[in-house]
């Protein structure tokens, strides 16, 4: 069973294989969105780009980037992912709402 560690929140949680990273975070009380994005977001459809996370360790344990991710994250560091588009396949350490680059 994969483990996801959210560094900012100091939480380490277990999840099922192929679980959606955004849903895992929300299920365990981890804030995925900041400010107005808490109310106005695409609800996990990969359209708004506000659920971005920085993958500190275990990037290879996520599903490959989707076409939507590639478009939304163009010009961003390779370790940034849209949590709504990621399936967790192994252990992972991430930072929610990373600083803008």
CATH number at residue 67: 3.10.20.30
pLDDT of residue 86: 97
Q: Is residue 101 part of a domain?
A: no
Domain span holding position 34? 3-95
pTM recorded for the entire structure:
0.94
Q: Is residue 60 part of a domain?
A: yes
Q: Is residue 69 part of a domain?
A: yes
Q: Is residue 52 part of a domain?
A: yes
Q: Is residue 74 part of a domain?
A: yes
Q: What is the dihedral of CA 55, 59, 65, 68, to 10 degrees?
A: -10
Run of H or E residues at 53:
strand 52-57
pLDDT of residue 101: 58
Q: Is residue 100 part of a domain?
A: no
What residues in the chain have per-residue pLDDT under 70? 100-101
Q: Is residue 43 part of a domain?
A: yes
Number of structural domains found in the chain: 1
pLDDT of residue 98: 87
């Amino acid at each position: 069973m994969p483990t996801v560690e959210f560094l900012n929140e100091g939480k380490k949680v277990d999840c099922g294989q192929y679980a959606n990273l955004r849903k895992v975070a929300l299920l365990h009380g981890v804030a995925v969105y900041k400010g107005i994005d808490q109310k106005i977001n695409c609800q996990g459809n990969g359209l708004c780009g506000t659920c971005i996370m920085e993958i500190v360790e275990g990037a290879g344990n996520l599903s490959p980037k989707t076409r939507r991710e590639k478009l939304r994250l163009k010009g961003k560091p390779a370790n940034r992912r849209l949590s709504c588009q990621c399936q967790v396949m192994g252990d992972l350490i991430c930072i929610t709402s990373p600083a803008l680059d």
